[in-house]
Amino acid sequence: MPTALATLYVTQSDMEALFSTEGVELRLDDDGSGTVSAPELLRLTTQALNYATARCNMFLLGRYEPADLATSWVVNEWATYIACHWLSARRGNPTLFGAQVEEVKKELAQVKAGQLNLEELGSRNPSWPTWSNTRVDSTNYRLRKIRVERPISEEEPTSGKPQNRDIWADVIFEPN
């Protein structure tokens, strides 16, 4: 079994708010004793909550940070529906919230495709390109002859790729 995720987007109380406390307990009580034992409760915390978070991560982590996703009400709602749906279908019972989960899947796919934004969250990567002014220096360099002129370029590259640094251009600015 995989390890538990560090950041979860749904809690047991979120599921109880949607299902009711009795609804969650009925779906967790595998032995029919009327009470939820520690291993049965562990199944909820390690499987249902992690499953819902992992499903959301599959669609959202390409665009947003996990810590930011954990603060979003929309992501919490999506993860709650997914967790409750998983819990209701776990033992082959009739599934609940099927229509809501289908809507959640559509919305998650739209976020992944860039058609829907989580407006309250900042994007992991800015949507604008990095602008770097370059010059070809074939006399001083054998490899990587295209050098970024850092004094007249953007400070931080947003593409995640490092720039070829020209130390002389950091110190001396030569206007054309």
Q: How far apart are the C-alpha atoms of 130 and 17, rounded to whole Å?
A: 45
Residue 175's Cβ-side half-sphere holds a number of Cα atoms within 13 Å equal to 0
The residue type at 173: F
**DSSP-assigned beta bridge partners for residue 147:** 135
* Overall pTM > 0.85: no
pLDDT digits 0-9 by tens, 84-108: 999 888 877 788 888 999 999 999 9
Going from N- to C-terminal start, the domains of the chain cover 12-113, 134-171
Query: Cβ neighbours of residue 131 under 8 Å, at least 6 residues apart?
Result: 153, 154
